[in-house]
Chains A and B, each alone.
Chain A
Amino acid sequence: MVYSEECDFIFRLKGILEFACQLDNPNGVQSQSTISKSFQDLRSKVTSKNIVFTVCNSPVLIWPNTGFQSSVESLTEASACGDILQWIESDDGGSKKSSKKKDKKKSGPTVVNMKLLFEVTEPAGNTAPSLIRVSTQQHCVKMPLPLDCALSVTTDERLETVCTGLVEALNKQLADMEEVVLQYRKGSSFLVPQPFHFQLPEPAGLITVVYPAGVPDSQLQAVREDLHRKFELPCDRPYLRRANAFHFPDAAYKDGYLRNPHIHLNPPNIEDAKLYLVQGVYSYHHYMQDHVDDNGWGCAYRSLQTICSWFQQQGYVETAVPTHTQIQQALVDVGDKEPRFVGSRQWIGSIEVQAVLNQLLGVTSKIMFVSQGSELATKGRELANHFQTEGTPVMIGGGVLAHTILGVVWSENTGQIRFLILDPHYTGGEDLQTITDKGWCGWKGPEFWDQNAYYNLCLPQRPKSI
C-alpha cells in the first residue's frame, strides 16, 4: 500500500446507468450495432448538460458540462479542488488522526466521494406526454452499469479540471464496458461489466480495468498478460487480479479484521540499518476471533490464518481463510494427523503450517531451523532477503509460543536487528489503538525470544503467477 507521495486527493465518482436495448434477434448480425448504438446513447447522456455530480455528505452539486456550475457560490471554475473539503461533513470527526504519539504515521490521500445524477427538470422543450406503443416481438435487455471512476490529484489542481477529467473517465469507462459486453456476450446472455481500480507502480498510478462479472480470475489470464505488458509490470506476481483491487482509504473492511496494523508504527531508529517489511496486505488474526475460544492453544493456527489472508488478498488464491477445523482436517487429509485430531485443542508447529499451506493453498514454504533463540539475532540476512524477495509474513514457533514476523530492521554492518512481531495471543477486540499501544503488533529486540529454546520458522514462497 504505497501511495504516490504527490497525490493528496482521490476523487471517486460512482453511479448507475441503466443500459437498455431491444433486440429483434439476439443472434442476428444487427444485434451488435444495436448494442453499440445503446452505448453511444449512454455516452451522449454523460456528455450532456443534464449530468450532475453531487459530493457525498455535502450540499455541493456540480454541473460539469455547462462550463462548470456549482450549487455553492464560492466554488467556481478557478477553485482549487481542496476547497471542496470545507463543505463536506465528515462523520467520524477526524478520528482517523487519532493519536498524537510520535509513533503514528499519517494516513493516505483524502477521498472525495461523488455520485452521478441526471437532472430531469429544466427540459429543452415542453410538449406534453404521449403514449407510444410498439407491438413487435423483441428481447428487452436491461442491465445496470456500475460506473466507478477515480482520479488522483494534488491539492492545487482546479476543481474544473477534475470534473472534466471525470467526464472523460466516464466516457472511456463506457467504451471499455461496451468492449467487454460485446466480447463476452452469447446471444441474449449479457454479463455485467464491472470496473476495478488498481494502484500500480509509478508512472501508471491509479488505473481502472473492466472485467466481466462471473468470469473467474483464472479465465482472465490472457487479459492480465496483455495489461502486464502494457504497463510494464513484472510477470511473476499478480497486480491485476480482483483481490488486488485498490482499497480506498475511507472504506471499512466488511469482514471487520484489521489490515496491516503495522503501518501505524514507526520503525526503530537504528544507525546504519535498513527496513525490510512484509509487502502487500494481510489481516490480523488472533485468539478469540470468530467466536472460537482458542486461548492457550490456537496461536499457530492464528498465525497460519494471517498468512492465508495474505495469499488471498494478494490474489493468489480465491479460497477463504480456513477455520481451525479446516486446518485440522487438511492435516488429516495429508496423513499428518489421525482423524481424532479434528475438533481437538492440539498445538501445531511450523511443519504443520507448511503442510497446510501446501494442501489448501498450493503454496510451498521454506523451513528455517534455529537451535537456540539467541541465534535468531544472526538470521538478519536471511530474513532481510526473504522480505525483499517474497515479502510474505513468517510464522515462527518455538518454546511454547507461536508468533508472526512481519519484518526486520537490520544493519548489515553492525548486525543490529529488530523484529516486527504480530502477536496472535491477543484476546481483545479489533482496537487498533490498544493493539499498537500495548505492543500486540510491535517492534521487539532479540531478547524477545526464549534464548534457550529452539525455533522453527516457516517462510512461505510466492507462487510465480499473475
Chain B
Amino acid sequence: MGRSYFVDEAVEEYLVGIQTAPGSCVTGLLAGQSSPQRDFVVLAVQTPHRESEGQPKASRGVSPLDDIDVEWVTEHAKQVSRMLPGGLCILGLFLVTPPELSKDAQNALKRLIFAMDKYITKGRLWELSEEDVTDQVTLHICSKTKKYPLHSLQLLPYIKLSAKHLISAKPADWKYQTGVSSSWPMLSCSVEVDVQIPVTGSSSDITDKCMKDGLRRWAKQIEAACCLINGRHALDDSELVSGQKKNPKTTHRQTLPARIFVSDEQAELDERSSALVQVCSGSVKVRGVVHCRAYIHNNKPKARHAAQAIKRDIINTVCHRVEMFLEDLLINEGSHKGLCSGQQALPRRVFAPVPVSGLSVCDYMFPDESTADVAERLKEMLDCKTPEEDIDTSLEGNQLFSNVCGSEITESPSDDSSKHVFSEVQTENPKNQKAPQYYAGVAITAAVALLATATSLLYFNE
C-alpha cells in the first residue's frame, strides 16, 4: 500500500486548467507537506517556459518526452524550494502528456524525480532524520482525459538508501479536499545570526569550503537547540497545542511564536585540554536578523515536528541567501575573485501570500531590487499573480551601511542587469529600471541555471 495524499481543490483546478500544445508535454511541481501518516499537496506549478538563447535546439529524441529539459525542470524546482517556508517542500512532479505517450511517461517521471531530488538536496545543511518521509509522488495526467476524474494515477514513492537510490512504485491514494491548509498554524520567529567563520586559505575554493563548514557547525547548533512553541517546550511526543478550536467553518490561521535557545556545546571539541588555534588568512562573519516561518498541518501534529520545521527554515534561509549571494558573485565577478573585504548585504527575505490558500511564500531581494522584481519572479516561478502591495518587506530591515567593499571595489559594469551587492543602496527610480530588469531577470535565471550546476559542483561538492 502506498501513501495517502490529501490534495487541495485549488490544485485540481490548476491541473485541469493547464494548456498543452497538441503532441507536447508539460511538466510541473507539486508542493506541500509530509507527515508520517499522509501527505498534503497544496500547490502545483507548471515549469515556466524557458527563454532560449540562440537557436532553438533541434528535436533530439524520438518523442517529445526526450525533449524535456531536465536541467530546467530541476532548476525550477530548486528556485521554488527556496521560496517555500518551513514545513513545505517539493513533494513530487506532474507530467501532462498526450495519450500516445502515456506508457513512457513513468520512465520520464522517474528520471526527472531522480535528478530533481539530487539537485535540491545538494548543499543542504541539515540531515534527514529517520522519521522524515522521502517519498516523492509522480502524477501522470493524460491531456485528453484530464477533464475527467483522474484514473491514470501512478505514484512512485521511493526510499533513499545512502548513496544508492532504490525505487519502488506503489499506487497511492489521492483525495481532493477543500481548504487543506486553511487552518494550518504558522510558526514564526526572528532569529539573530552571528556566525564567525575563520578562513584558512585565500583561494575562493577554500573560502567557500570554510564557509560551508562554519555554517554547518552553526546549523548543528540550531538543530540541537531547545525550542518553545507558543510558550511550551517542544519535546518528546506531546502534541502541538495551538489552542485553536477545531471548527471547520473558521479559516482563521493562528500564528504561533517560536523561541529558540542554543548552547555552544560541540561534542568533538569538549574533550580537548587546550584551545584550537588556526592560522587564518582572515574570517567571514554572517551577522544579522532573519525572519522565519513554518507551517504545520493540523492533523494532531507533534510538537517536535513543528520545532523541526521552524529550525529547518532558520537553517535554510541563511544557507540559501549565502548560496544566492555567492552564485551572483560568480556570475558577475568570475570564479577567481571571490569575496572581497568589507561588509556586503545578503539578499533580504520578503513574504507574499499565495492566492486562495493564503499560505506565505518568500523571495529574496537584493539591495538594488524592488517589489516589482519580486512580483515578476513570483509570477514566473510560481505562476501566481501577487499584487505588489501584498509583498511584505517589513519583516527584515534594510541593511544601510556606508562601509563599502575595502579598497578592492571595482566599478560595477554599466550592465544594468547586474544584481551587485556593492553596498550603496541604489536610489535610481525603480520604474526606469523595470523593463530591462525583467528580461535581465530571465537571462540571469537562465545563466544561473547553466552555471548553477557548475556552482553546486564547485562550491558544495560533498
Contacts and interface: CB of A to CB of B under 8 A. Distances in A.
Contacts of B231: 71
Interface string A48-62: 000010100001010
20 contacts: A22-B280, A54-B226, A61-B226, A61-B261, A116-B263, A119-B260, A120-B260, A122-B259, A123-B191, A127-B288, A128-B345, A128-B346, A129-B287, A130-B288, A131-B284, A133-B282, A137-B279, A141-B276, A144-B269, A192-B275
Contacts of A121: 189-192, 258-260
Interface in A99-137: 115-137
Interface stretch (B56-64, B133-141, B335-343): B335-343
A141 B321 CA distance: 28
A117 B224 CA distance: 11
A110 B196 CA distance: 40
A17 interface: yes
Contacts of B286: 129-132
B226 A139 contact: no
Interface stretch (A183-191, A234-242, A322-330, A398-406): A183-191
B275 A19 contact: yes
B436 to A, nearest CB: 25
Contacts of B279: 137-140
Contact of A129 (B198, B318, B342): B318
A214 interface: yes
B284 A132 contact: yes
Interface in B315-335: 318, 321-322, 325
A59 B274 contact: no
Contacts of A191: 273-275
A320 interface: no
A124 to B, nearest CB: 8
Interface in A68-88: 71
B21 interface: no
Contacts of A118: 261-263
Interface string B14-52: 000000000000000000000000000000000000000
Contact of A117 (B226, B233, B258, B340): B226
Given A59-B232, A123-B190, A143-B276, A129 B290 contact: yes
Contacts of B285: 131-134
A317 B397 CA distance: 61
Nearest to B231: A71
Given A121-B191, A139-B280, A140-B280, 7 more contacts: A61-B228, A121-B258, A122-B190, A127-B397, A129-B193, A133-B343, A146-B270
Interface string B178-206: 00000000000111110010100010000
B270 A144 contact: yes
A214 B290 contact: no
Nearest to A136: B282
B282 A135 contact: yes
A126 B395 contact: yes
A137 B343 contact: no
A59 B233 contact: yes
B280 A138 contact: yes
Nearest to B264: A18
Contacts of B264: 15-18, 144
A38 to B, nearest CB: 11
A20 B197 CA distance: 11
A409 to B, nearest CB: 46
Given A127-B289, A128-B399, A133-B340, A117 B272 contact: no
A141 B277 contact: yes
B342 A132 contact: yes
A392 B339 CA distance: 67
